[in-house]
Chain A
Amino acid sequence: MQLPNRIEAIASAAREFQWLSNLTPSAMRRWIELELGSLLDANTPRAYGDHHCSAQPLSPILHIVSGNTPHAGIQSLTRGILVGAKNRIKLPRKGLPELDHFVRLLPTELKPEMSNSLQGNWMEEAEAIVIFGSDETVEFFAKHVLPRQRLVAYGHRISLGLVLGPFDENVIEGAVHDVLVFDQLGCLSPQLYYIAGDSAEFARKLAERFNQLFSSSSTVTEWTSEIAGSLRSCREEWKFRAATEPGVQVWESPDNLDWLVIHDPNPGLISNPLYRTIFVKPIPGDLESVLYPIRRQISTIGVHPVDSRTAELAIRLGAQRVCPVGGMQNPAVTWHHDGGPTLASLVRFVDIEGLQTE
């Protein structure tokens, strides 16, 4: 299938998903143009410096996707289809209903092979292997990648928010939104907010907004026992700390595990069970050294306000992406995932020298 048709097929499937609304034909064409120019567009090599060049898909691509959000699987498949590759997807054991749905909407020609387990020679035959998972998962797969294969690895990332100026209701609303999307399971989901100014007040307002949202909602969240257990353990731990350590405060959804806001005056990093658990901390003078241990794992930093000062700070801290608070879960189509090009990583460039053109 030719590129224009592939673009149209993806856009058509994406229309069924509200959170894929930015995957329009024009956005995809722009994305291709930015990363690959016109090199992908035709069988005819295009002028490139003193020679000609053509971008050819690495094919087949094996996508090993994780179960935490449906986003990653669809993104990865979309990239594979756009470059023109044959796609195979190793699904998580419990599957990904949204990805299934997306695939059902694609024309047969573009449908990937999918399975909950690796099949036959999928690893061996792949020209590119795209992995989403923990560092351990990535590291393990990396050991089995052959030198001729390209590994595109998206390990676990940590995202956070920085509120460096006065905050109003819009900032609070945005911060709550960023936590709610995908129940905080994505790489782009904030795990904590650092606040310049009254951090306890920010936490209180965040909790107030969560409370409003959930008390007016009839939706009952049913976590598994394992998730509920980890959420209960977290809130009991922090309630103990609130009772025994100055400055620690906890706000929780009453009678259920819908959400949890923790104000911790200690700026240090802490583990977060996610599922709408958010930590709020005062911004320390030495934020760079506090975040130093995770600087290579940081994905997105949502900042308020977005200006050259805050952007510069976020870049210094290790961010791969800087965006306004409230927009953490909506990266542009053209974003550099974990700092790298998303389409260019899935093609090989063929250079043709001395080509006689008419």
Chain B
Amino acid sequence: MNMPLEEEILCFLQRPDKGKFETVALRLYEQQRNHNSVYARYCESLGQSEPIHSWKRIPAVPQQAFKYSELRSFPASETAAEFRTSGTTGEGFGRHFLGSLKLYQTAVQSGWDYFRLPRNPFALLMQHPEKAQFSSLSRMGSFLCDGRRDSFFVSNEGAVEVDRLRTFLSSRTEPVTLFGTALAFLNLLEEASDLPLPPGSILMETGGFKGLDREVVQADLYIRLSKCFRTEVDCIWNEYGMTELSSQFYSRGLGQPHLAPPWLRFLVIDPKTNREASSGEIGLLRVFDLANFWSVLAVQTQDLAVAKGEEGFLLLGRDPAALPRGCSRAMDALIRRETLIKWENKGINMALNAVAESH
């Protein structure tokens, strides 16, 4: 019964037709409401009984719902894959079940291609999916590099393999794509200060620092990355995704909005009213992802953002109370190191002031 709609979404991902988004989204909503009893109960509790005529009205489950319920729109016995949030906070982890990886793979690859990101040889600062079977980021990396094991540069123990990476980069003359979490890059920067990339290469950074010991603002990180890899800040991209979603937003350089591929839409929600925020207002990001076929297409995140037209948003980051999570975090937990190294290097008063403020 799911097949026709799954096929339709697959076609949408491969040959997007923006005009059809709403029709497909509303069909998917109906199907998920009919096949996902948890979601159905939630919709009912919101008093959502009338038919919906706009994708903006589709009820969004809070991101944390993936921690408490199995949000499946298919029988549990048909589970083909499971992604997990890191759960390093001790409050449990979120689980995202998929009946097939086909849509996820297509969303990853088509999204990458939609933004004309180069399919250069990859150097992935993450573990191979065999060693991180529940990591959506590792799976994403695997789909981008066609599963090449030698593209992964994080050891079984979670350490970035700096020497192997150095050898890989120095042997290249054609452009490469270096992809990893912000924390993996930081870890790398502490081990190596000069790793020139071949001209035309790009860096793809994902994830933030929420809940970790080291807060490094993105601008500082990008400047350090550009120095280390001898590349322009404009060649550094950010991927915004999460375990609970199947598609990704991308931004380039600093201060630029994150943009969505055509099968991914968003709203910025005024937290005070829980309705769409006025233009230019800060609010919580709500995402509608057609590739989330197997769970729930509408997810209310804990991230603050400002809409920049219909195509993109400026990401302001996680709300302070949000638990650390995101596909980068599982990776980050592996490579967690001593706290506040960078601050200590800048002098004792600065370090102490920073810590006093961080509380």
Residue numbers of A with Cβ under 8 A of B are 64, 66, 90, 92-93, 117-118, 123, 133-134, 136-137, 140-141, 144, 156, 223, 225-234, 236-237, 239-245, 255-257, 270-271, 273
- Asked if B348 is at the interface of the complex by the 8 Å CB criterion, the answer is yes
Determine how close the nearest CB of chain A comes to the CB of B346; give it in whole angstroms: 13
Q: How far is the CA of A229 from the CA of B274 in the complex (A)?
A: 10
Q: Which residues of B contact A123 (CB under 8 A)?
A: 348-349, 352
Q: A230-B319, A239-B45, A255-B273 are in contact. Are A137 and B356 (CB under 8 A)?
A: yes
**Contact digits for B330-359, partner A, Cβ 8 Å, 1 yes 0 no:** 000000000110000000110111011111
Contact partner of A233 (CB less than 8 A), chosen from B64, B68, B272, B352, is B64
Q: How far is the CA of A64 from the CA of B46 in the complex (A)?
A: 46
In the complex, are the beta carbons of A271 and B323 less than 8 A apart? yes
In the complex, are the beta carbons of B340 and A230 less than 8 A apart? no
- Asked if B280 is at the interface of the complex by the 8 Å CB criterion, the answer is no
- Asked if B62 is at the interface of the complex by the 8 Å CB criterion, the answer is yes
Other than the known A90-B356, A225-B316, A243-B46, what 16 A-B pairs have Cβ atoms closer than 8 Å? A118-B349, A137-B358, A141-B352, A226-B304, A228-B272, A229-B302, A232-B269, A233-B271, A233-B284, A236-B62, A237-B62, A240-B62, A243-B45, A244-B41, A257-B271, A257-B272
- Show 27 residue pairs from A and B whose CB-CB distance is below 8 angstroms, ordered by the A residue: A64-B356, A137-B356, A140-B339, A140-B351, A144-B352, A225-B282, A226-B304, A226-B319, A228-B271, A230-B319, A230-B321, A232-B271, A232-B274, A232-B284, A233-B300, A233-B322, A236-B62, A239-B45, A240-B42, A241-B68, A243-B44, A243-B45, A244-B41, A244-B69, A255-B273, A256-B272, A271-B321
Determine how close the nearest CB of chain A comes to the CB of B38; give it in whole angstroms: 5
In the complex, are the beta carbons of B62 and A233 less than 8 A apart? yes
In the complex, are the beta carbons of A273 and B42 less than 8 A apart? no
- A-B pairs with beta carbons under 8 A, tally: 119
Q: How far is the CA of A141 from the CA of B352 in the complex (A)?
A: 7
Q: How far is the CA of A242 from the CA of B107 in the complex (A)?
A: 33
**Contact digits for B88-111, partner A, Cβ 8 Å, 1 yes 0 no:** 000100000000000000000000
- Asked if B180 is at the interface of the complex by the 8 Å CB criterion, the answer is no
Q: Which residues of B contact A241 (CB under 8 A)?
A: 68
Determine how close the nearest CB of chain A comes to the CB of B3; give it in whole angstroms: 28
In the complex, are the beta carbons of A229 and B353 less than 8 A apart? no
Per the CB 8 Å criterion, the residue count for chain B at the interface is 43
Q: Which residues of A contact B62 (CB under 8 A)?
A: 233, 236-237, 240
Contact partner of B284 (CB less than 8 A), chosen from A229, A240, A270, is A229
Q: How far is the CA of A167 from the CA of B114 in the complex (A)?
A: 62
In the complex, are the beta carbons of A230 and B274 less than 8 A apart? no
Residue numbers of B with Cβ under 8 A of A are 38, 41-42, 44-46, 61-62, 64-65, 68-69, 91, 213, 269, 271-274, 282-284, 300, 302, 304, 316, 319-323, 339-340, 348-349, 351-353, 355-359
Q: How far is the CA of A233 from the CA of B299 in the complex (A)?
A: 12
Determine how close the nearest CB of chain A comes to the CB of B155; give it in whole angstroms: 28
In the complex, are the beta carbons of B321 and A234 less than 8 A apart? yes
Q: How far is the CA of A233 from the CA of B304 in the complex (A)?
A: 11
Quick one: which of B44, B68, B355, B359 has the most chain A CB within 10 A?
Answer: B359
Q: Which 7 A-B pairs have the closest CB atoms?
A: A230-B321, A243-B45, A232-B271, A229-B319, A228-B271, A133-B359, A134-B359
Q: A144-B348, A233-B64 are in contact. Are A92 and B271 (CB under 8 A)?
A: no
Q: How far is the CA of A306 from the CA of B45 in the complex (A)?
A: 40
In the complex, are the beta carbons of A244 and B323 less than 8 A apart? no
Interface SS of A by simple majority: helix
Determine how close the nearest CB of chain A comes to the CB of B351; give it in whole angstroms: 8
Q: Which residues of A contact B41 (CB under 8 A)?
A: 243-244
Contact partner of B45 (CB less than 8 A), chosen from A66, A141, A242, A270, is A242
Q: Which residues of A contact B272 (CB under 8 A)?
A: 223, 228, 232, 256-257
Q: Which residues of A contact B321 (CB under 8 A)?
A: 229-230, 233-234, 271, 273
In the complex, are the beta carbons of B359 and A240 less than 8 A apart? no
Determine how close the nearest CB of chain A comes to the CB of B47; give it in whole angstroms: 11
Q: Which residues of A contact B349 (CB under 8 A)?
A: 117-118, 123
Determine how close the nearest CB of chain B comes to the CB of A4; give it in whole angstroms: 35
In the complex, are the beta carbons of A118 and B322 less than 8 A apart? no
Instruction: Find the B residue at minimum CB distance from A257.
Output: B272
Instruction: Find the B residue at minimum CB distance from A134.
Output: B359
Q: Which residues of A contact B359 (CB under 8 A)?
A: 66, 133-134, 136-137, 156
In the complex, are the beta carbons of A229 and B352 less than 8 A apart? no
Contact partner of B355 (CB less than 8 A), chosen from A141, A233, A256, A271, is A141
Instruction: Find the B residue at minimum CB distance from A115.
Output: B353
Determine how close the nearest CB of chain A comes to the CB of B248; give it in whole angstroms: 22
In the complex, are the beta carbons of A230 and B45 less than 8 A apart? no
Q: How far is the CA of A134 from the CA of B44 in the complex (A)?
A: 41
In the complex, are the beta carbons of A245 and B357 less than 8 A apart? no
Q: Which residues of A contact B68 (CB under 8 A)?
A: 240-241, 244-245
Contact partner of A237 (CB less than 8 A), chosen from B46, B64, B319, is B64
In the complex, are the beta carbons of B304 and A229 less than 8 A apart? yes
Q: How far is the CA of A137 from the CA of B44 in the complex (A)?
A: 45
Q: Which residues of A contact B353 (CB under 8 A)?
A: 90, 117-118
In the complex, are the beta carbons of A230 and B322 less than 8 A apart? yes
Instruction: Find the A residue at minimum CB distance from B277.
Output: A225
Q: How far is the CA of A134 from the CA of B213 in the complex (A)?
A: 13
Q: Which residues of A contact B283 (CB under 8 A)?
A: 225, 229
Q: Which residues of B contact A227 (CB under 8 A)?
A: 320
Q: Which residues of B contact A92 (CB under 8 A)?
A: 356-357
Q: How far is the CA of A223 from the CA of B282 in the complex (A)?
A: 12
In the complex, are the beta carbons of B352 and A118 less than 8 A apart? yes
In the complex, are the beta carbons of A225 and B271 less than 8 A apart? yes
In the complex, are the beta carbons of B357 and A240 less than 8 A apart? no
Q: How far is the CA of A256 from the CA of B359 in the complex (A)?
A: 27
Determine how close the nearest CB of chain B comes to the CB of A280; give it in whole angstroms: 19
Contact partner of B65 (CB less than 8 A), chosen from A133, A134, A156, A237, is A237
Determine how close the nearest CB of chain A comes to the CB of B260; give it in whole angstroms: 21
Q: How far is the CA of A64 from the CA of B274 in the complex (A)?
A: 38
